[in-house]
């Protein structure tokens, strides 16, 4: 049995906030991430890989309106790399 992919929710949100802020502003970056978490039922101190992917996909759908598909793809890829680099939570 494989161990689930878990990250600290606060750290994931910090990565998302830092990645989106230059494009949509600090307030919108924070608000969008937290609103999508509520919509997707993401709560608690840990977030699993499936939840992260759902969250990133939702954020990408909104970001494409502001910066276009090519830039959105680059930003989303950078978020995924940064989340991967965080490492598992205990």
| Per-residue tokens: 72 | 């959105």
| Whole-structure pTM value | 0.89
User: Please, how many CA atoms are within 13 Å of residue 49, restricted to the half-sphere of its CB?
Assistant: 8
Average pLDDT over every residue of 52-72: 96
What is the count of structural domains for the chain? 1
Tell me if 1 is assigned to some domain: no
| Per-residue tokens: 21 | 């802020």
> pLDDT tens for residues 12-45?
999 999 999 999 999 999 999 999 999 999 999 9
Q: Average pLDDT, whole number, for the chain?
A: 92
41: CB partners within 8 A, 6+ apart: none
Residue span of the structural domain in which 42 resides: 6-86
């Amino acid at each position: 049995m494989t161990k689930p992919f878990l990250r600290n929710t606060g750290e994931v949100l910090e990565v998302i906030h830092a990645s989106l802020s230059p494009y949509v502003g600090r307030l919108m970056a924070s608000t969008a991430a937290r609103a999508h978490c509520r919509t997707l039922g993401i709560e608690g101190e840990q977030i699993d890989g499936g939840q992260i992917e759902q969250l990133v996909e939702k954020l990408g759908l909104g970001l494409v309106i502001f910066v276009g598909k090519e830039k959105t793809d680059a930003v989303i890829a950078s978020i995924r790399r940064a989340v991967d680099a965080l490492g598992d939570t205990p």
